[in-house]
């Protein structure tokens, strides 16, 4: 089956087309087309503004879609009449997208696609709506069903990409991104129990905020990671000691805002922040975060019998965190570590297509009711 997936939950406009076959236990995927556009406009503001993200998605979806269709060799030009009125109703709150949509859609053939998948939450609602309405407009024109997908399930499903074997359940999943930090027990695909989550900032958010304090650009994760690697290479004595919040607490929750505040006060005291201080602080921050993540995951592995450990979310692009989890898993020979390929860790539509395949291959019915954006959608 061919699945077209659309992801617009935050500041990445992403579209993917995959061809999937096999059963959910032994899936095979071919990526026919895939593109992610990171909205650089947010760099100027050091964070993501929902309405700005919405406008960028509206502007970028059609050009990206055209690119992906061409890459997938599913793009053929031909002129049709289009029912503008119906489309205007669907895209009434996305006027910019409507304009591009009607210019485009009447000039191409219906591509050979079986299903459309779209992220319906969690995320920024104005941004989510753009993807949902785009999916609905395509569905209207081409008569293809649309499947709503939970973005966090997408991060879990990202480990299926380039994976040679099925995921074994029960699985423990640690999801660490810019908006979420969750430890999840997955009994099977679609059946999740959240064991713990952050009480304040998400891990990626902490990376971004600390980067900002250090005068580094957004998104901060990759920047901090680079400086921390330099500090590790230099191996100079440590100048700072940051807290490891909740590392010994009797639950699976996290808290990262205290580390950020500790960085703030330390930097205020120093005044003149040199490059060496930036490097050393980055290393100490990365260590503090990693130690907490490892400790909580270890505790969960001790308490819940899991056959797999799945890691997902943008922060798992971090080289140091990946290698510490690779070390941790050596103590659990019965648990298989499933790390997503680095190129699929930050937001993308490929993971949304993979999650859609999981649902479709189980033979789930697709609801025909209208899809709503749910900013706080739970797993």
What is the phi/psi pair of residue 365, to 5°?
Answer: -70, 145
Distances (CA, A) of 90 to 12, 53, 137, 287, 361: 22, 20, 6, 48, 29
Count of CA atoms in the C-beta half-sphere (13 A) of 260:
18
Q: Which does 204 bind (CB under 5 to 8 A by kind): Zn ion, ligand KG4, none?
A: ligand KG4
Q: Using CA atoms, how far apart are residues 241 and 200, in angstroms rounded to an integer?
A: 21
Nearest distance from C-beta of residue 128 to ligand KG4, angstroms: 12
Tell me the C-alpha to C-alpha distance, in Å, between residue 177 and each of 159, 204, 213, 280: 15, 5, 19, 23
Residue 349 Cβ vs ligand KG4, minimum distance, rounded to whole Å: 12
Q: Which is nearer to ligand KG4, 16 or 346 (CB)?
A: 346
Interface with ligand KG4 in residues 242-261 (CB under 6 A): none
Q: Give the interface segment with Zn ion, choosing from 105-113, 217-225, 294-302, 339-347 (CB under 5 A).
A: 339-347
Q: CB nearest Zn ion: which residue?
A: 177
3-state secondary structure of 193: strand
- Selected binder of ligand KG4 within 314, 354, 355, 356 (CB under 6 A): 314
Residue 227 Cβ vs ligand KG4, minimum distance, rounded to whole Å: 11
Alpha-carbon span 263 to 124, nearest angstrom: 28
308 lines the binding site for ligand KG4 (CB under 6 A): no
When binding is defined by CB under 5 A, the residue of 60, 119, 177, 348 that contacts Zn ion is: 177
Provide the minimum distance between the beta carbon of 82 and ligand KG4 in the complex, in angstroms, as a whole number: 34
**Of the candidate residues 263, 317, 344, 352, the single one contacting ligand KG4 (CB under 6 A):** 317
Which of 152-164 are b and which e, b meaning 16 or more Cβ less than 10 Å from the residue's Cβ?
bbbbbbbbbbebe
User: CB of 93: closest distance to ligand KG4 in angstroms?
Assistant: 23
User: Residues 208, 279, 280, 324: which binds ligand KG4 (CB under 6 A)?
Assistant: 208
Do 221 and 317 meet the contact criterion of CB atoms below 8 Å apart?
yes
121 counts as binding ligand KG4 under rule CB under 6 A = no
Q: How far is residue 134's CA from residue 98's CA, in Å, rounded to a whole number?
A: 9
Confirm if 124 and 373 have CB atoms less than 8 A apart. no
SS (H, E, C) 243-275: CCCCCCCCCCCECCHHHHHHHHHHHHHHCCCCH
Q: Give the binding range for ligand KG4 (CB under 6 A) out of 49-57, 91-99, 218-226, 366-374.
A: 218-226
| CB of 73 closer than 8 Å to CB of 111 | no
Cα distance between residue 43 and residue 212, in whole Å: 11
Identify the residue among 58, 153, 223, 347 touching Zn ion (CB under 5 A). 347
Q: In 3D, which of 275, 209, 284, 273 has the Cα closest to residue 241?
A: 284
Please report whether residue 311 would count as binding ligand KG4 according to CB under 6 A.
no
Note whether 16 and 34 are within 8 A (CB).
yes
**Cβ distance to ligand KG4 smaller for residue 72 or 118:** 118
204 binds ligand KG4 (CB under 6 A): yes
Question: Pattern 318-337, binding to ligand KG4, x per CB under 6 A?
Answer: x-------------------
> Could you tell me the smallest distance in angstroms from the CB atom of residue 199 to ligand KG4?
17
Question: Minimum distance from CB of 313 to ligand KG4 (Å)?
Answer: 5
Nearest-approach distance from CB 174 to ligand KG4, in angstroms: 13
Angstrom distances, CA of residue 117 to CA of 145, 237, 247, 356: 8, 50, 38, 6
What residues line the site for ligand KG4 (CB under 6 A)?
10, 177-179, 204, 207-208, 219-222, 225, 313-315, 317-318, 346-347
What residues line the site for Zn ion (CB under 5 A)?
177, 347
């Amino acid at each position: 089956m061919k699945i077209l997936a659309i992801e617009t939950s935050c500041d990445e406009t992403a579209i993917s087309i995959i061809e999937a076959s096999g059963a959910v236990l032994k899936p095979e995927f071919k990526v026919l087309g895939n593109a992610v556009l990171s909205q650089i406009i947010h760099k100027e503001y050091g964070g993501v503004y929902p309405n700005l993200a919405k406008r960028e998605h509206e502007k970028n979806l059609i050009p990206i879609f055209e690119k992906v269709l061409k890459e997938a060799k599913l793009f053929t030009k031909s002129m049709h009449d289009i029912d503008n009125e119906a489309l205007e109703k669907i895209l009434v709150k996305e006027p910019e997208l409507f304009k591009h949509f009607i210019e485009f859609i009447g000039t191409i053939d219906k591509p050979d696609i079986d299903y459309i998948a779209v992220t319906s939450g969690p995320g920024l609602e104005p941004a989510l709506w753009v993807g949902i309405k785009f999916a609905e407009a395509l569905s209207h024109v081409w008569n293809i069903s649309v499947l709503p997908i939970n973005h966090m399930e997408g991060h879990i499903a990202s480990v299926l990409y380039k994976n040679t074997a099925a995921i074994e359940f029960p699985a423990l999943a640690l999801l660490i991104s810019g908006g979420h930090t969750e430890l999840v027990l997955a009994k099977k695909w679609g059946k999740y129990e959240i064991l713990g989550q952050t009480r304040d900032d998400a891990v990626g958010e902490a990376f971004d905020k600390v980067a900002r304090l250090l005068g580094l650009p957004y998104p901060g994760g990759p920047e901090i990671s680079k400086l921390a690697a330099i500090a590790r290479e230099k191996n100079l004595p440590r100048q700072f000691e940051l807290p490891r919040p909740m590392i010994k607490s009797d639950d699976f929750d996290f808290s990262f805002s205290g580390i950020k505040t500790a960085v703030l006060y330390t930097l205020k005291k120093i005044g003149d922040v040199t490059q060496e201080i930036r490097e050393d602080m980055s290393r100490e921050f990365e260590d503090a975060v990693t130690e907490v993540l490892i400790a909580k995951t270890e505790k969960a592995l001790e308490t819940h019998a899991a056959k797999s450990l799945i890691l997902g979310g943008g922060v798992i692009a971090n080289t140091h965190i990946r290698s510490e989890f690779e070390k941790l898993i050596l103590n659990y020979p019965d648990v298989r570590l499933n790390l997503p390929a680095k190129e699929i860790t930050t937001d993308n539509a490929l993971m949304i297509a993979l999650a859609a395949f999981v649902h479709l291959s189980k033979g789930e019915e697709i609801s025909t009711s209208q899809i709503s954006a749910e900013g706080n959608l739970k797993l």
